[in-house]
Amino acid sequence: MEFWKKMPEHGKKGVIESCWCGSCMKAVTIENFTLVFKKPDLILQGFCKVCGNDIVRLVEGA
């Protein structure tokens, strides 16, 4: 949680906008995501903005 709190807004934006969608086969924006803290990592679980596919973005060492 601290990691995400401390992360600058543009850093968060970078993570949010660079999630891999296995359906679109490209980096997409994740939306309606929830944050899951699984030490030491942070996981964003949400949906692809383009196709609605479930996607998960791992941020290492959160």
Where residue 25 falls (left for φ over 0; alpha for ψ -120 to 50; beta otherwise) is left
At closest approach, how far in Å is the CB of 6 from Zn ion?
Answer: 29
Please say whether the beta carbons of 56 and 22 come within 8 A: no
56 counts as binding Zn ion under rule CB under 5 A? no
Measured from the CB atom, the residue of 21 and 62 that comes closer to Zn ion is 21
Using the minimum distance from each CB to Zn ion, give the nearer residue, 4 or 45.
45
29 secondary structure, DSSP code: -
* One character per residue 10-49, x = contact with Zn ion (rule: CB under 5 A): -----------x-xx-----------------------x-
d(CA 18, CA 14) in angstroms, rounded, equals 6
